[in-house]
Amino acid sequence: MDTTTRIPAFGVGTFRLKDQVVIDSVRNALDLGYRAIDTAQIYGNEAEVGQAITESSVPRSELFITTKIWTDNFASDKVIPSLKESLRKLGTDHVDLTLIHWPAPGQAVPLADTLGALMQARAQGLTRSIGVSNFNIDYLTRAIQAVGAANIATNQIELSPYLQNRKIVDFARSQGIHITSYMTLAYGKVLQDPVLLHIAGRHGASTAQVALAWAMQLGYAVIPSSTRRANLQGNLLAQQLRLTDEDMAQIAALDRGERLVNPEGLAPSWD
């Protein structure tokens, strides 16, 4: 079964957005035409995301909702109860994609246990697909050994023009596993990059649109977040932007291994 084709190329992220801010962001995104929404148990905003969805006029069948299981809930007897709690907060009977948010700290819970419980959750209809996030090659290899590559819909990793993560991307691709890019704009750092500014000027686009279009042209899904409606609208237009081979080559040369998300005690040894 090929689960990789079902992940929308473009969605809205909700990392670090709380309370009314996340309600407004998701409401604006849905109003503008976004249909994929990414959240997580640890973000503490699932209920607010759910409220925005419930208050919108968009049918659930048109939406693609992703959440992520937090490390506290990795034990095989905690995965499904925690996911059911996420569903209650989100106001839905299923999510479209459930990810393991980080590898288990110190491998305290066997990966096969967590993935096995997620497979059960999928069989029960609580989630349509399962996947992983922040996995290096070693952990991705173990995940494949546990449940098979065809059951891993994506590996969601930090990926931007400044951190192109080619080793893990190449390995995932060799296994037929899709990549979702988060932090594609590097907390806004890439927006003033001279190369991106030059490319944006040639296309009459914004630097954010260029960075997002670059990631999508490489086949990644992107989930940029914004609290401003104008930025949400601008980001959407990245889907129409086609970069030239020269543009892509220039952005490829920007890679400098600059990682912005590397929490001590959680992050694996990166490739």
Distances (CA, A) of 2 to 19, 145, 156, 177, 178: 36, 17, 17, 10, 11
Is 187 a residue of the active site?
A: no
Angle in degrees, CA 2, 183, 29, rounded to 5 = 80
- Nearest Cα to 191, choosing from 181, 179, 182, 183? 183
Are 29 and 53 within 8 A, CB to CB? no
Q: What angle do CA 19, 23, 27 make, to 5 degrees?
A: 170
Cα–Cα separations (whole angstroms), residue 130 to 68, 120, 134, 206: 10, 10, 14, 33
Annotated catalytic residue, options 34, 43, 139, 220: 43
**Euclidean distance between CA atoms 153 and 119, whole angstroms:** 12
Q: What residues are labeled active site?
A: 43
